[in-house]
Amino acid sequence: MSFLDHIRACNAHDPRPFRPFLCGATRIGRIRHDVAAWLAGFPDIFVVDDQGVRLHPGLDSGPPRSAAIDAVALELRHRYGTPALRGERYRVGAGWGQTEMFTIDRGLVSLFGIRAYGVHVNGFVRTPDGLRLWVAKRALGRPVAPGKLDNLIAGGQPAHLSLMDNLVKEAAEEANVPEPLARTALPVGAISYCLDDEWGAKPDTMFCYDLELPPGFVPVNTDGEVESFALMAPSEAAARIKAGGDFKFNVNLVVTDFLIRHGFLNPDDEPDYVEIVSGLRVFHSE
């Protein structure tokens, strides 16, 4: 595979089987037509027509909306085997930084095509042999991408927690990074993509950070989600991305962005350079 192949794979969304999901006049997601037909069976919660799915106007504030969607999701799981609730809330609004309309369980984001956000941290160290990336190997028990390579720190963005506070939390859980060190992480941009999964669409935005670590630091996992860590030369990371399936699908994009920003991927050597750079910043609006 090429760097560009990974970007295209993360943007393999087909809009034809979907219709808009709206709260009031604001489009907040996209719902597959077959799922919309199921939701039509709950007319006190969803107003369904050929143009879209709308939350019932009687649900006029966040907590009732959240509770109603959870109740429907439990029934849909019983009837059709749709995703289970995972007990972690994501905020829903017109976009990042906009007014929160309600929250939704993490397990339901693709079913309703809600944009999810997360933090991804490139942990790196400067050595006598040059810059090296700390790369995590995901535990085999992980439900998504077991055994794949990952960023040193990464996690979904819960409602009612700042990005930096979430980064600090994930840093402690995943790599035992002390809080003062974690807070030196620098925000370096955001990567967006949209792909389809078994139940719907996944429009995701990853807020990317660089965290320079001292040479003596060795990460230690504390939550059981990481099997091991390794220091990797940028050239090896690039080769393994191009080899195909070693990294978790979206981590390919985060590491590619790191390689670009630190000069390890350049336009003289990479014929797809312009398409890669622009492809990392594609934003699929709801």
Residue 284 domain-assigned (yes or no): no
The pLDDT tens digits along the chain (286 residues) read 899 999 999 999 999 999 999 999 999 999 999 999 999 999 999 999 999 999 999 999 999 999 999 999 999 999 999 999 999 999 999 999 999 999 999 999 999 999 999 999 999 999 999 999 999 999 999 988 999 999 999 999 999 999 999 999 999 999 999 999 999 999 999 999 999 999 999 999 999 999 999 999 999 999 999 999 999 999 999 999 998 889 999 999 999 999 999 999 999 999 999 999 999 987 776 6
72-100 residue pLDDT tens? 999 999 999 999 999 999 999 999 999 99
Residues 61 and 124 in one domain: no
Residues 52 and 99 in one domain: yes
Bin 133: left if φ > 0, else alpha if -120 < ψ < 50, else beta: beta
Q: What are phi and psi of 237, to 5 degrees?
A: -60, -45
Q: Are 170 and 226 in contact (CB under 8 A)?
A: no
pLDDT for 102 equals 98
Domains contained in the chain, number: 2
State the CATH number of the domain containing residue 93. Answer: 3.30.750.160
Q: Which of 75, 108, 141 is the last residue of a domain?
A: 108
Per-residue tokens: 144: 């998504």
Q: Which of 108, 143, 177 is the last residue of a domain?
A: 108
DSSP 281: T
The helix or strand, by DSSP H or E, that contains position 182, with its residue range, turns out to be: helix 179-182
pLDDT for 281 equals 84
- How far apart, in whole angstroms, are the C-alpha atoms of residue 218 and residue 125? 10
Parent domain of 239: 3-11+116-279
Residue 24 domain-assigned (yes or no): yes
pLDDT for 143 equals 87
- The one-letter code for the residue type at 72 is V
Residue 285 domain-assigned (yes or no): no
Of residues 209, 213, 191, the one with CA closest to residue 132:
213
The helix or strand, by DSSP H or E, that contains position 7, with its residue range, turns out to be: helix 3-10
DSSP 152: S
117-131 residue pLDDT tens? 999 999 999 999 999
- How far apart, in whole angstroms, are the C-alpha atoms of residue 219 and residue 184? 16
Residues 155 and 35 in one domain: no
pLDDT for 233 equals 98
pLDDT for 286 equals 63
- How far apart, in whole angstroms, are the C-alpha atoms of residue 186 and residue 164? 10
